[in-house]
C-alpha cells in the first residue's frame, strides 16, 4: 500500500513540474485573469559583451483567462484605434479581428544593469493560434524603468539570472 501511495505522489509531483514548463514555456505568474509565461529557450544576450550593459532578450506570453482582463486589454487597443479614426464604425470594423482573441506574445529586451526593459514586438493570436496582428516598436522606443516588487521586477531578475 505504501508503494502505491508513493508512486501516486511521484506521478502527481512530476505532473505539476511538467505543467510548470512545457517546451521551454514556464508559467511565471498568474495575476488578475492573466497567466504570464516565459519562453526560457529565448533568453539570449543581445548586447556586445564588452559594453558591460548586460541586456537580454526574452519572449513572454500573456494568456487571458478571464473576461475582465481580456476586455481591459482589448479596450486599450480600441482606444488606440479611436485616437486615429474619426468614425466609430471604422473602429468597430477593425476590432472585429479580435473577436476570437486568446493570447499575446511579447518580445522584450531587459537591461539588467539599469533595471529597465523595452518592448520589441507584440503579437496577438486567436484561439486557433493564428496571428491577428504583429506590432513592432521603433528601435529608439523609450525604456521602461522597473520599480517595486511586481511581475516586471521578478521577470527582470529571472531573465538576468538565467542569462548569466
Q: Secondary structure of 98-154 in the HEC alphabet? A: HCCEEEEEEEEEEECCCCEEEEEEEEEEECCCCEEEEEECCCCCCCEECCCCCHHHH
Asked if the structure places residue 17 within a domain, the reply is no
Asked if the structure places residue 12 within a domain, the reply is no
Containing H/E element for 47?
A: none
Instruction: Tell me which residue range forms the domain holding 63.
Output: 25-163
Asked if the structure places residue 19 within a domain, the reply is no
Return the CATH number at 52.
Answer: 2.40.128
**Cβ burial 47-80 (10 Å sphere, 16+ → b, else e):** beeeeeebbbbbbbbbbbeeeebbeebbeebbee
Asked if the structure places residue 141 within a domain, the reply is yes
Global pTM value: 0.80
Asked if the structure places residue 152 within a domain, the reply is yes
Q: What is the pLDDT along the chain (164 residues), one digit of tens a residue?
A: 444 433 333 333 333 333 466 788 999 999 889 999 999 999 999 876 666 678 999 999 999 999 999 999 999 999 999 998 889 999 999 999 999 999 999 999 999 989 999 999 999 999 999 999 999 999 888 999 998 888 888 999 999 998 76
Q: How many domains does the chain have?
A: 1
Amino acid at each position: 500500500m505504501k508503494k502505491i501511495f508513493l508512486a501516486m505522489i511521484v506521478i502527481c509531483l512530476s505532473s505539476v513540474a511538467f505543467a510548470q514548463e512545457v517546451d521551454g514555456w514556464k508559467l511565471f505568474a498568474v495575476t488578475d485573469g492573466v497567466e504570464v509565461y516565459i519562453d526560457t529557450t529565448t533568453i539570449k544576450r543581445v548586447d556586445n559583451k564588452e559594453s558591460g550593459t548586460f541586456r537580454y532578450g526574452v519572449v513572454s506570453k500573456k494568456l487571458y483567462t478571464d473576461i475582465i482582463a481580456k476586455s481591459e486589454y482589448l479596450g486599450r487597443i480600441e482606444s488606440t484605434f479611436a485616437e486615429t479614426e474619426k468614425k466609430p464604425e471604422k473602429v468597430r470594423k477593425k476590432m472585429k479581428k479580435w473577436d476570437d482573441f486568446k493570447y499575446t506574445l511579447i518580445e522584450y529586451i531587459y537591461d539588467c544593469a539599469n533595471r529597465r526593459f523595452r518592448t520589441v514586438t507584440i503579437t496577438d493570436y486567436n484561439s486557433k493560434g493564428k496571428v491577428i496582428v504583429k506590432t513592432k516598436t521603433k528601435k529608439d522606443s523609450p525604456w521602461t524603468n522597473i520599480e517595486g516588487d511586481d511581475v516586471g521586477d521578478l521577470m527582470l531578475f529571472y531573465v538576468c539570472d538565467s542569462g548569466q
